[in-house]
Amino acid sequence: MNLVSCSVVSNHEVSAGNFLITLQVPRSFARPQPGQFVHLRVGEDIEPLLRRPYSLEGFTERGALRAVRVYFSVVGRGSGVLARQEKGTKLDLIGPLGIGFTPRPRRVPILVAGGRGVAPLLFLSRRLRERKRPYVFLFGARSRTDLYGVREIRGGRLHLATDDGSIGYEGSVLDLLEREWTGARHTPLTAEIFTCGPHGLLHAISDFARERGIRCEASLEGPMACGVGACRGCPVPLLPGPDSGRYPAMCVEGPVMDATIVDWARLP
Ligand SMILES: Cc1cc2nc3c(=O)[nH]c(=O)nc-3n(C[C@H](O)[C@H](O)[C@H](O)COP(=O)(O)OP(=O)(O)OC[C@H]3O[C@@H](n4cnc5c(N)ncnc54)[C@H](O)[C@@H]3O)c2cc1C
Ligand code: FES
């Protein structure tokens, strides 16, 4: 277990209720893979006691300085406390944790983000760009103000969708995926999907992928307690098949998992 202290470099609200926090971490924090997460103590006080899991939006390394970024929404007590942490505050975190995305060589990665789920996919897109790999980024949100990070997406082909039509296609990012798949003539041997977003969207994308035999990895965001495989508090139900009856722990066998075997209807 890699517990490290960290300090807040910056923390600001990028859109209503959504924050970007940058945390300086020591050299003992291993270079993370996109899709991995940290289990973060959100404040200096004893309460809230439990850490909160957050995917990494990015990781930077300049000389001896290392920093991680987390893009988060205020949804309850813990995230509310995190939003109030100011520059210089000392926190700690465990990480990097879990399994990240695993793009295969010679396949076009199609990244499909829903709302706040864009965070780990932005990280993945930067890694792909560093490796000069072409990719497609499909990003859907309620409105244009929820499209965090679009200007960061470079080196790939980007398509946007909004529910209110304020920018890009008016409708679901799933429609964009259907259009991309047929329009660009991808096949399961030439392309694969990486996705993160609300579970309803991930469920629909995994059905899309399973029906067509497409490899599809999703980053799950269920409730977690220990974050390191000790409490059995984050079981992922699987569909009938070779693995049915097994409940992999989301924190150690995920959060990135084969989306086509997850039983989304039974996921908490
Ligand atoms: C691997 C992983 C990565 C995540 N990455 C991000 C991220 O990049 N950005 C981000 O904003 N959030 C992310 N989350 C969700 C984040 O952990 C929760 O929003 C946070 O723990 C809520 O804490 P809270 O005390 O503010 O809310 P609580 O008061 O605990 O709960 C408020 C509401 O949020 C729901 N909730 C609580 N915990 C979770 C959870 N783990 N997942 C989904 N819903 C939850 C509750 O059911 C409730 O409706 C991630 C979760 C996981 C497991
Ligand atoms: S949160 Fe404890 S086993 Fe996953």
- Please state which CATH class domain 108-266 belongs to: alpha beta
Query: Ligand 1: which residue has its CA nearest to atom 35?
Result: 75
Token pair recorded at residue 158: 């980007």
68 ligand 2 Cβ < 6 A: no
Q: How far apart are CA 163 and CA 205, in angstroms?
A: 17
- The CA 223 to ligand 2 mean position distance, Å, reads 9
pLDDT, tens digit only, all 268 positions of the chain:
799 999 999 999 999 999 999 999 999 999 999 999 999 999 988 888 889 999 999 999 988 899 999 999 999 999 999 999 999 999 999 999 999 999 999 999 999 999 999 999 999 999 999 999 999 999 999 999 999 999 989 999 999 999 999 999 999 999 999 999 999 999 999 999 999 999 999 999 999 999 999 999 999 999 999 999 999 999 999 999 887 789 999 999 999 999 999 999 999 8
- The CATH number assigned to the domain with range 3-97 reads 2.40.30.10
Q: What's the confidence (pLDDT) of residue 136?
A: 98
Judge if the beta carbon of residue 268 lies within 6 A of ligand 2: no
**CB 25 within 8 Å of CB 62:** no
Domain residues of the chain, as ranges?
Answer: 3-97, 108-266
Which residue, by CA, sits nearest to atom 28 of ligand 1? 76
232 lines ligand 2 (CB under 6 A): yes
Query: What is residue 176's predicted lDDT score, i.e. its pLDDT?
Result: 97
Q: Which two tokens stand for residue 258?
A: 């084969």
pLDDT number for residue 105: 92
H-state helical runs in 13-69: none
- Which atom of ligand 1 lies closest to the CA of 56? 8
